[in-house]
Structure 1
Amino acid sequence: MSMQTPPTLLELAGKRLLRDQASAITALEHLPAELFPPLFILAFHSRQHQESLKAMAQAWPYPVLPLGGLMQRPQVKVLKAVLDGLDILLAQEIRPRCLQTPLEKLTITHCQSLTHSDLTHLFQCPNLRQLKSLRLYCASLAEFSPEPLRALLEAVAPTLQDLGLDNCAMVDSQVEVILPVLRHCHQLISLTFSENCLSLATVGKLLHHTAGLRSLELELYPVPLECYTTQDTVNQERLALVRAELTGILRELGQPRTILLATKHCGHREYYDVTFS
C-alpha cells in the first residue's frame, strides 16, 4: 500500500488562495517575496489561473523569472498569460519584470494543439525580441501562415544563435517565406530543419541564403523528397545524385562547409553528410 506525501501548509494555503483569483491578485501586494515562487509554480501547473499568472509576472519581486524548468511541455494559454504580464510590465516602465534579463530561449515541443492565433500572439510578444534560441519540435505548422514566424525572425535576427524547426510539417512554400530573413541572422550557430517535407530545390535555396553566415557550425536539413520511393524508403541511387548536386552548389558558393541530411523516420533516422572543403 503506497503512502502519499501530504501537502504542506504552504501548498494548502496557495491552493486556497488561488481558488479566488480576485483575492489572489489583491494579496500579491502584501505577499512576502519568498512566497512568490511556490505560488507561481502552483498557478502554472494548475493551468486554470491565467489572470493570477499575469498579475504575478507583473508583480514579480526578483530580477529573473526562470520559466525554463517549467516549460518542458508548455501549455500555450499558460505561457501566453505569463508573457502578457511581462508585456504589460515592460510597457509601464515603472520598475527599472525587475526582470532585467529578457527571455533568451523559447522551446515548444510536442504541442500539436497550437493554433495560428496562438503562434501569432506568442511571436508578437515584445519580450521575445532578444531571443538567442528558438526551437519548435513536433509542433505542426502545416496549416499556418509563415508570416508571424518571419516577423519574429526579423526582430531577433541580431541576437539569434540557435534556430530549430524540426518535425514541424513545413513545406517548401513556408520555408521560402523565411529564407530572406535567414541572411540577416549573422550570429546563427545552429540551424536545423529535419523531418520536414522539403524538395531538393528548397534545400538548395537554404544553402544559398545561409552562405554568408560565418558563425554557422551545424546545419541539419531533411533528405529531399525526391530521394524517397513510393514505399517511403530512401532510394540510395537518387540520394547519391542529390548529394552530388548539393556538393556542386557548395562548390559554386566557394565556402568550405559540411551539412547533414537526415531521413524523416525518427525511430531509425539515418544521416548523410555533404561536404565541400
Structure 2
Amino acid sequence: MSIYNPPTLQQLAMQGLLKNESLAISSLDCMPIMLFPPLFKEASEGRHTKILKAMVAAWPFHCLPVGVLMMTPEVETLQAVLDGIDMLLTQKVSPHRRWKLQVLDLRNVHQNFWDVWTGREKGVHSEDSGSEKQVVKSLHRHALRQPLKVVTDLSLCFHLQEHQTCLLQWAQQRNGTVQLCCVKMEISDFPVETIREVLDIFWPHYIEELEIITTKILPFPNSFAPCLGQMRNLHKCHLSLNAFFMDSSAIEMSLHKFLTQFSKLNSLQHLYLNGIYFSTENVKQLCRCLKTPLESLSITLHLSQSDLKQLSQCPRLCQVKFLLLSHIELSTSRPTGLRVLLENVADSLQTLELEHCSLENSHLSVFLPALSQCSQLTRVNFSDNDFSSTAVKNLLQCMANLNQLAVQLYPAPLECYDNPCNILMDRFAHLCLELQGIVMAKREPKTMAFATTICIECCQSCVYDIETKLCPCWQ
C-alpha cells in the first residue's frame, strides 16, 4: 500500500509562481522572505531566467551564494544573475523594497544556506537566521559595503571558457561599481599577456590561494611579479615552473625579481615550489624575503647540500607542519642541513615527505635521531630511496615510538632486487612481512606500505601492505 504525501502549501505556491512568470515577478515586493531561497533554487533548477533576474535585484539578504546552485557552468543562468545585478545597480527595482544584497558569491560554498531555507535542515526561517549570519560571517574579509562584491574562484587552463569570458567582460565594463574578488585562482599554461589582462580586472588583495603551472619561465616571473606583490592576503602559493632544459643562469636572473615580491606577502603560510631550478643565491633570497612563519613548505627538484643548510637557518621555517622535499642532492656527504631542519621543526612537524631523494644508509643514520624527536608526526613517506633492510629496520624502530603516526610509506629494501630493474618477488614479500612485524610488535599501524621503484614499462610500483600488489608488468 503506497503512502500519498500531498504537497505543502509552500510547494503549491511556488509551483504556481513558476508557471506564471509575470505573477512571480510582480509578487516579489510582498513575498515573505522565507520563500525567496526555495523559490530561487527552484527557478535556478528550472532555468526560469526572467524570475532569477528579478529575484537577484530584490534579494532580501546581504549575500547570495548562487555558485553552489551552478555546479556545471551555465552561461544562460549566469547571465540572468548578472542582469539582475545590473537591475539592482541601476535601481530599476521597486522603491518599496530596501535591497540588501552586497555580496554575490559564485563559489561552490555555503550549501548550508540552501539546505536550511529549503527545509533540508532544521533552522529558523527569519531574516536574521543562523544560516544567513554564517554566510556573512564567512565573508568577513569582504567587508559589507559598496561597491557590490562579486566573489568567485577562477581556474584558467589553456584558454578562457565561455562562462569565464561572460563574467570577466561584465566585470570589466562595470569597474568602479562592482568589485570582482577572486579567493582561489588557478592558472595552468595560460598566455602570459592574457593573465595580466585578467588580473587587472580583479582586486589582487582578495586573492588568498594562488596556483600557477607554466613553462613560460623566462617571461612569466618578470611580467607577473608586480601582481604577486599586491596579493597582500595571499596565504597559499603553489608555483610549478617547468624549466628542465633552460639555461640555469637565465632562470636565476628571471627568478630574482619574482622572489623579491615575497617580502610583501605578510599572510603567506603555505608555499609549494615545484620543478624550479633554485641556485643557492635564489634560496638565500627566498629565506630573506619570507616575512611570516610557514606552516607548509614543498620544494621538488634541485636542492643541494648548501641549499638545505640555508633552509635550516631560516627563522621562518621553525613552525612547519608539512614538509616535502623531493629530488634533493645529498651525494655521499653527511646531510647536516636536513638534520638541523628536522630538529628545528620537531615540535610542529606533522607530515614529512622525503620521496625520490636518493637517500642512503649513511644519510639516514645522520638525521634519524632528529626524526625520533618529531612527536607530532602523523604521516611519513620515504618511498623511492636506497635503504638496506638493516637501515629500514632502524627507521621502523624509530617510527614505532611515534604514537600519532597514522600513515607510513617506505621503500622496498635493496635486498629485494638482483639488479636495479628486477624485483625478487618472494624476497620482497618475505622482507616486508618481517619489517611490518617490527611496528606491530609495539602497536597496530593504521596504514603502512612498502613500495618498489617505479617500473620503467608501466610507471607503477609493486606495493606491499597487507599483501603484495603487483604492478601490471608483474601480474
In the alignment, does 2:346 pair up with 1:154? no
Structure having the higher strand fraction is 2
Map 1:1-277 → 2, pairs under 5 A: 36-37=230-231, 47-48=252-253, 52=257, 56-58=261-263, 60=264, 63-65=266-268, 68=271, 71-77=273-279, 78-86=282-290, 97=291, 99=292, 102-109=293-300, 111=301, 113-230=302-419, 232-251=421-440, 253-257=441-445, 258-265=447-454, 267-273=459-465
Give aligned pairs, total: 235
One-letter code aligned to 1:74: I
Range with greater deviation from structure 2 (123-132 or 237-246): 237-246
| 8 A Cα contact 1:54 1:84, kept in partner | no
User: What secondary structure does 1:76 align onto?
Assistant: coil
User: What secondary structure does 1:103 align onto?
Assistant: coil
The 1:230–1:180 alpha-carbon spacing in structure 2 relative to 1, beyond 3 Å, is same
Instruction: Report the Cα distance in structure 1 between the residues aligned to 2:451 and 2:231, rounded to whole angstroms.
Output: 41
* 1:90 equivalent in structure 2: none
Instruction: Report the Cα distance in structure 2 between the residues aligned to 1:229 and 1:35, rounded to whole angstroms.
Output: 53
One-letter code aligned to 1:214: N
The 1:5–1:126 alpha-carbon spacing in structure 2 relative to 1, beyond 3 Å, is closer
User: What secondary structure does 1:127 align onto?
Assistant: helix
Deviations 1:83-141 (CA, angstroms, capped at 9, x unpaired): 2123xxxxxxxxxx3x4xx11111111x2x43322221122211111111111123333
Deviations 1:161-186 (CA, angstroms, capped at 9, x unpaired): 11011111110110111111122111
Deviation at 1:57, TM superposition (A): 4.0
| 8 A Cα contact 1:50 1:81, kept in partner | no
Provide TM-score, normalisation by structure 1: 0.71
Instruction: Report the Cα distance in structure 2 between the residues aligned to 1:72 and 1:234, rounded to whole angstroms.
Output: 30
| 8 A Cα contact 1:53 1:85, kept in partner | no
Deviation at 1:146, TM superposition (A): 1.1
Q: Percent identity?
A: 33
Instruction: Report the Cα distance in structure 2 between the residues aligned to 1:152 and 1:230, rounded to whole angstroms.
Output: 34
Range with greater deviation from structure 2 (142-151 or 207-216): 142-151
| 8 A Cα contact 1:196 1:222, kept in partner | yes
Instruction: Report the Cα distance in structure 2 between the residues aligned to 1:75 and 1:105, rounded to whole angstroms.
Output: 20
Provide TM-score, normalisation by structure 2: 0.43
Instruction: Report the Cα distance in structure 2 between the residues aligned to 1:204 and 1:223, rounded to whole angstroms.
Output: 11
Higher relative contact order structure (alpha carbons within 8 Å, sequence separation ≥ 6): 1
The 1:84–1:242 alpha-carbon spacing in structure 2 relative to 1, beyond 3 Å, is same
One-letter code aligned to 1:167: H
Instruction: Report the Cα distance in structure 1 between the residues aligned to 2:228 and 2:322, rounded to whole angstroms.
Output: 30
Deviation at 1:211, TM superposition (A): 1.2
Gaps of 5+ in 1: 25-30, 87-96
**Structure (1 or 2) with the larger CA radius of gyration:** 2
| 8 A Cα contact 1:53 1:82, kept in partner | no
The 1:66–1:263 alpha-carbon spacing in structure 2 relative to 1, beyond 3 Å, is same
Q: CA RMSD in A?
A: 3.6
Gaps of 5+ in 2: 1-190, 201-218, 242-250, 468-475
* 1:27 equivalent in structure 2: none
The 1:35–1:118 alpha-carbon spacing in structure 2 relative to 1, beyond 3 Å, is closer
One-letter code aligned to 1:254: K
User: What secondary structure does 1:108 align onto?
Assistant: strand
Deviations 1:214-265 (CA, angstroms, capped at 9, x unpaired): 11111110010111123632112212331342244234x4311252100012
Instruction: Report the Cα distance in structure 2 between the residues aligned to 1:34 and 1:114, rounded to whole angstroms.
Output: 24
Instruction: Report the Cα distance in structure 1 between the residues aligned to 2:310 and 2:420, rounded to whole angstroms.
Output: 39
The 1:52–1:171 alpha-carbon spacing in structure 2 relative to 1, beyond 3 Å, is same
| 8 A Cα contact 2:323 2:351, kept in partner | yes
Deviation at 1:65, TM superposition (A): 3.1
Structure having the higher helix fraction is 1
Deviations 1:9-37 (CA, angstroms, capped at 9, x unpaired): 999xxx9xx79xxxx9xxxxxx9x99634
The 1:156–1:35 alpha-carbon spacing in structure 2 relative to 1, beyond 3 Å, is closer
Deviations 1:33-71 (CA, angstroms, capped at 9, x unpaired): 996349xx9xxx87526665576444x2x63136636x2
User: What secondary structure does 1:214 align onto?
Assistant: coil
Instruction: Report the Cα distance in structure 2 between the residues aligned to 1:5 and 1:138, rounded to whole angstroms.
Output: 28
* 1:92 equivalent in structure 2: none
The 1:47–1:66 alpha-carbon spacing in structure 2 relative to 1, beyond 3 Å, is farther
Range with greater deviation from structure 2 (241-250 or 167-176): 241-250
| 8 A Cα contact 2:270 2:296, kept in partner | no
